[in-house]
């Protein structure tokens, strides 16, 4: 079997797929990429048993069909140093002896049998299907991943929750201290459905779809999910369990509103946070008409910081405390120039929303307050 393809295209796809492969695998074959040639195209596959990603590359020239597996480190090291040029793979399907011929040289080694590579589990007949734009899925995952938990006792909190109703798709993540809820009103389903996507496949989707302008077909049942575009597919195992009622923790009546430049607030937080206690990272916000004062202190080391900012604030004067690193994370994962912070009182969660929203989208982030010792 002999086929030819672009070195840079192959390298790009292998780098994306390599993120699936674990550093230690129970099956030696999972250290490999699977190469399958059929009908003039090459299908590359990488797996860690729970997540299986494939990419399809049209071949410039092809003589014969077949499959084989190559160790991921060997083929990545071989291809990444080559400038853009045609690569010709020449493999003896009986002995699995392989030659990779490039412009000024040749690699020669022995491949492994592709028959040993585990196949992705088939979806059940009752699987649900939803279609959305690749950019919609990437944006929602990007805004949510930072808020997922690392909780061995409540594994449902360790993933991104997709809640699809006849009104919208809500993409939610929370660790109990901060929460993100993205709603997209263009993606919906007549039959309400939901699933919890683990962090690893969520991160893989970000990479797989980063440059894609295609629509994504999401197909899922109670155990598995498959996300497919025209030339790539990710199949993964889902987190089983019941996700908490996220809407119940979002306060509805927040009469005190602060509107402020997002980047300026991030900068101020980064300046005062090093002076906060390492154990709780508490930053105090004092709010009054036209003014925001941020303060932090570490009594143990006799350090403190204070910064005053101008802002647009409507409401009663208030002092409220937040974990500075969590507040900074939330602001960093929004993209509007200004944000609005909606507050009820110092004991209830603060709701942060972008002042300039996008059409057909509703983005909300929530942060729990910390106790102030006055």
Q: How far is CA 208 from CA 15, 18, 20, 67, 80, in A?
A: 10, 11, 11, 23, 19
Question: What is the helix (H) or strand (E) element at residue 284, kind and residue range?
Answer: strand 282-288
Is the separation of the CB atoms in 212 and 229 below 8 Å? yes
How does strand 51-58 pair with strand 61-63?
A: unpaired
pLDDT at 105: 92
Structure tokens at 52: 């299986």
Q: Is 315 left (phi over 0), alpha (psi -120 to 50) or beta?
A: left
Of 88, 38, 46, 39, residue with least CA distance to 66: 38
369: number of CA atoms within 13 Å, CB side? 22
Is the separation of the CB atoms in 293 and 285 below 8 Å? yes
Is 34 buried (19+), middle (13-18) or exposed (0-12) by CB count in 10 A? buried
- Alpha-carbon distance of 143 to 155, in angstroms, equals 20
Is 43 buried (19+), middle (13-18) or exposed (0-12) by CB count in 10 A? middle
Cβ atoms within 10 Å of 110's Cβ, excluding its own = 12
- The per-residue pLDDT string of the chain (374 residues; one tens digit each, 9 = 90 and over) reads 999 999 999 999 999 999 999 988 888 999 999 999 999 999 999 999 999 999 999 999 999 899 999 999 999 999 998 999 999 999 998 899 999 999 989 999 899 999 889 887 888 888 899 999 999 999 999 999 999 999 888 999 999 999 999 999 999 999 999 999 999 999 999 999 999 999 999 999 999 998 888 899 999 998 999 999 999 999 999 999 999 999 999 998 999 999 999 999 999 999 999 999 999 999 999 999 999 999 999 998 999 999 999 999 999 999 999 999 999 999 999 999 999 999 999 999 999 999 988 889 999 999 999 988 76
pLDDT at 374: 66
What does the DSSP 8-state code read for residue 278? T
- Alpha-carbon distance of 38 to 215, in angstroms, equals 24
Ordered DSSP codes for 195-255: EEEEHHHHHHHHHHTTT--SEEEEEE-SSEEEEE-SSEEEEEEPBPSPPP-GGGGS-S---
For the chain, how many residues are written? 374
Is the separation of the CB atoms in 42 and 57 below 8 Å? yes
The 10 Å CB-count burial string (b at 16+, else e) for 141-168 is bbbbbbbbbeeeeeeebbbbbbbbeeeb
Question: What is the helix (H) or strand (E) element at residue 62, kind and residue range?
Answer: strand 61-63
- Alpha-carbon distance of 145 to 123, in angstroms, equals 25
pLDDT at 336: 93
The 10 Å CB-count burial string (b at 16+, else e) for 299-335 is eeeeeebeeebebebebeebebbbbbebbbbbbebbe
Is 255 buried (19+), middle (13-18) or exposed (0-12) by CB count in 10 A? exposed
Indicate the pTM of the whole model: 0.91
Of 164, 282, 236, 224, residue with least CA distance to 20: 236
pLDDT at 372: 85
- Alpha-carbon distance of 35 to 294, in angstroms, equals 56
């Amino acid at each position: 079997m002999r086929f030819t393809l672009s070195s840079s295209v192959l390298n790009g796809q292998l780098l994306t797929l390599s993120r699936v492969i674990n550093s230690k695998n129970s099956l030696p074959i999972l250290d490999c990429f699977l190469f399958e040639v059929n009908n003039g195209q090459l299908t590359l596959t990488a797996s860690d048993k729970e997540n299986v990603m494939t990419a399809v590359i049209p071949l410039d020239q092809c003589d014969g069909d077949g499959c084989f597996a190559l160790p991921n480190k060997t083929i990545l090291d071989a291809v990444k140093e080559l400038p853009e040029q045609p690569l010709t793979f020449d493999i003896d399907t009986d002995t699995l002896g392989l030659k990779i011929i490039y412009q000024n040289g040749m690699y020669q080694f022995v491949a492994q049998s592709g028959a040993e590579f585990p196949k992705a589990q088939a979806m059940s007949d009752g699987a649900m299907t939803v279609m959305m734009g690749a950019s919609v899925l990437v944006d929602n995952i990007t805004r949510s991943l930072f808020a997922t938990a690392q909780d061995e006792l409540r594994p449902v909190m360790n993933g991104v929750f997709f809640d699809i109703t006849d009104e919208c798709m809500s993409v939610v993540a929370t660790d109990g201290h901060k929460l993100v809820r993205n709603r997209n009103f263009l993606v919906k389903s007549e039959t309400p459905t939901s699933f919890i996507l683990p962090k690893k496949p969520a991160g893989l989707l970000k990479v797989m779809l980063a440059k894609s302008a295609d629509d994504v077909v999401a197909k899922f049942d109670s155990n598995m999910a498959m996300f497919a575009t025209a030339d790539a597919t990710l199949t993964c195992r889902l987190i089983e369990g019941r996700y908490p009622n996220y809407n119940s923790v979002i306060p509805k009546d927040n009469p005190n509103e602060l509107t402020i430049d997002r980047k300026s607030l991030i900068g101020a937080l980064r300046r005062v946070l090093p002076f906060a206690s390492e154990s709780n990272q508490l930053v105090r916000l004092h709010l009054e008409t036209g003014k925001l004062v941020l303060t932090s202190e570490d009594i143990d080391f006799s350090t403190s910081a204070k910064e005053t900012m101008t802002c647009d604030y409507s409401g009663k004067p208030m002092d409220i405390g937040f974990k500075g690193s969590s507040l900074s994370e939330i602001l960093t994962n929004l993209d509007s120039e200004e944000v609005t912070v909606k507050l009820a009182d110092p004991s209830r969660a603060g709701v942060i929303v972008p002042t300039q929203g996008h059409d057909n989208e509703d983005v909300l982030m929530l942060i729990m307050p910390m106790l102030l010792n006055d």
